[in-house]
Amino acid sequence: MATARTAAAIRSRALELGFVQVGFASPDVLPGRRFCADWLAAGYGAGMAFMARHGDRRADPSRQWPGVRTVICVAATYGAPTSVTAGYGRIAAYAAGPDYHDWLLARLQTLGQFVAAVAGRPVRCHACTDTAPVFERELAVRAGLGWRGRNTCLINRRVGSYTLLGELFTDLELVPDAPTPDGCGCCQRCLDACPTGALVQPYVLDSRRCLAYLTIEHRGALPRPLRPLLGTRVFGCDACQEVCPWNRRTRPGWPGPEPALAASELVDLLELDSAGFRRRYGSTPVARARRRGLRRNAAVALGNTGDRDSVPALVRTLSDDDAQVRGHAAWALGRLGGAAARAALEAASRREADPEAALEVLLALAEAAPA
């Protein structure tokens, strides 16, 4: 067992590296596997089939890293969402900057080097931040970094929930920290604020209705009943965090948001070519949605603005090479209505060959107001 002085030195170094929290957890088997299995069985995992894989490894760190004695858990803040101008798409706050994986992993590796140096003997350390099948949030709870909130996010009394998590799995044995008591009480602001009712009950999220899942992970057409609830979100959703009382005193994040990433003009996103997408988003979390997904989301967001100035761009998109994007542009035109939108949809109905896009065009025509 490492000394208290060694543990204190590791905590101090983690804070110097820019982490706002650090705690030590035992690598014992985590009880979250049962919850995850039930959650998947209920269909709440939607299309995330990868969540069903490696169940034993997720719940038992020693299966991935034999000999692990301690999990050093850290958190970094990324700040609250910025306001968005009309006609611009909303991007989740954590994605409004460079890819956090690079930032966190580099500092975790530096911390691992320090752990080996301060231990005075050879020490193995494996850095992870959403890069291996691990129950990161549950480990963070065990390490005392916060509690699992009713919105399913990790919440800390001092820094709220706008945090990014990382871990060092090491064979250095440290005294574990005590878990933090639940601080949500009877509050249900997050459940009330969820635009789609994805928080089906406290601590349980149905990904099939979650706008974060739908705008990032989902590869198919967005469910028609949920499209109006998207608003102008094009990547992720912060609604359940924005209303959380523990986020009243959020602090600036690790890199700070970049205006060009925090929000972009929706028409610009709709017409973004492959080179432009790679240049703007290739090294950011937004790349996860892929160009097709981002343009699909932008089309729906334009339909939700109620602004017919975007009709020409949407009409041009009815001739796009991507059938899925064409279909969502048709939906937006049907929602905006007007003579120009109807004329374009009527023309598209005569030439559209893709079955799903053709159906979108017909449904949009049925909904489009003539003027």
Q: What are phi and psi of 263, to 5 degrees?
A: -160, 140
Continuous segment of H or E residues that includes residue 267: helix 266-270
Joined tokens for residue 95 = 């994605």
Residue 247: Cβ-neighbour burial (10 angstroms; 0-12, 13-18, 19+): middle
Joined tokens for residue 13 = 């170094």
Continuous segment of H or E residues that includes residue 173: none
Continuous segment of H or E residues that includes residue 71: strand 70-77
Instruction: Tell me if residue 321 is catalytic.
Output: no
Going 233 to 225 to 293 to 332, the CA torsion angle's sign is: negative
Q: What are phi and psi of 71, to 5 degrees?
A: -110, 115
From the list 183, 188, 195, the residue with the least C-alpha distance to 151 is 188
* Distance, CA of 370 to chain centre: 38
Per-residue burial over 121-146, b = 16 or more CB atoms within 10 Å of its CB, e = otherwise: eebbbbbbbeebbbbbbbbbbbbbbb
Maximum Cα–Cα distance for the chain, whole Å? 77
User: How would you write 280-299 as a 3-class SS string?
Assistant: HHCCCHHHHHHHHHHHHHHH
Residue 35: Cβ-neighbour burial (10 angstroms; 0-12, 13-18, 19+): middle
Per DSSP (E only), the strands in 146-305 are 147-148, 154-155, 163-170, 199-201, 204-205, 233-235, 263-265
Instruction: List the catalytic residue out of 60, 130, 171, 322.
Output: 130
Contacts of 16 (CB under 8 A, 6+ apart): none
Catalytic annotation, residues: 130
